[in-house]
Amino acid sequence: MPIGPLTCLAAVLYLTSAVILALPLLHRRPLPRTFGLGIAAAAVVMHAVVLVSKHSGGVDLHFFAALSLVGACMAALCLLVNVMRPVATLGVIAFPMASLLLLADFIAPSTQPLPIEWQIKLHVVFALLAYSVLSIAALLAILLALQERALRRRQFGGLASALPPLTLLESLVFQLIGVGFILLTLTLISGILFVDNLFAQHLIHKTVLSIAAWVVFGALLFGRWRYGWRGRRAVRLILIGMILLLLAFFGSRFVLELLLKRVP
């Protein structure tokens, strides 16, 4: 199948899955959760095929290509998280995001993958996985905050009933933060080992922002272990860390590629 129809079909499947998973939130008669997740799994496979086909099977680091890859990783991680805990509601946010990023990459002009060595590819894989895992954790943290507020207001239907118990969801968030922190640590270590000149490659600001995010997530994990941090404080720190990573991973690339028309 040509890339165009395959892209559109994957986007439609992502949105269809999100609608199916959103039915309990809309107080409609729900369809089986596995049905919605199965449709999303088909969309993820198609998304991967589109990425490989459009970018010649290479690791494309251009702005929209990298965003599409992150979208696919987030959708796949959403499916994996649902194997661990029944958090299908997460797909209501993650799958439309993946659909939007896939379509944006399809509409954007075609680019050729940059010629990079395997060490840099390894660094990029760590970075994209870290960002994807921590993004899923941030989305879950937002859902956690909404669920906590609903329970505080004694609103036991809708979102509160569609999510796992508060303690299980909170435990899942911090498990993902722990995995993402390890991946982010590997990202920084591999960057120090394999990137020759941070200043010449416009990477110094990315490094500073990534280290700042690493400090935030590290402080959060330490605070959770030592002082039992949770609730609003934890959500606030997670979102601060994600904003720093967003600026580090995509902020500068947006300015260089789309505004200044330069390849980083």
Question: Quick check: 72 pLDDT over 60?
Answer: yes
Mean pLDDT computed over 51-73: 79
Contact between 79 and 90 under an 8 Å Cβ cutoff? The reply is no
Contact between 203 and 167 under an 8 Å Cβ cutoff? The reply is no
Q: pLDDT confidence of 64, banded at 50, 70, 90? A: confident
Q: Based on the number of CB atoms within 10 Å of its own CB, is 3 exposed (0-12), middle (13-18) or buried (19 or more)?
A: middle
Comparing 132 with 58, the larger pLDDT belongs to: 132
Q: How many Cβ atoms sit within 10 Å of the Cβ of residue 39?
A: 21
Q: pLDDT confidence of 24, banded at 50, 70, 90? A: confident
Tokens standing for residue 113 = 């993958």
Query: Percent of the chain at pLDDT above 70?
Result: 81
Residue holding tokens 């099977």? 57
Question: Quick check: 255 pLDDT over 70?
Answer: no
- pTM for the model stands at 0.87
Residues of 59-78 as b/e, b for ≥16 C-beta within 10 angstroms? bbbbbbbbbbbbbbbbbbbb
Where residue 241 falls (left for φ over 0; alpha for ψ -120 to 50; beta otherwise) is alpha
CA distance 59 to 141: 30
Start-to-end C-alpha separation, the chain: 33
Mean pLDDT computed over 250-263: 60
pLDDT tens for each residue of 101-148:
999 988 887 666 565 676 777 888 899 899 999 999 999 999 888 888
CA distance 245 to 251: 9
pLDDT tens for each residue of 179-208:
999 999 999 998 888 666 555 555 677 888
Tokens standing for residue 32 = 């089986």
Question: Quick check: 56 pLDDT over 70?
Answer: no
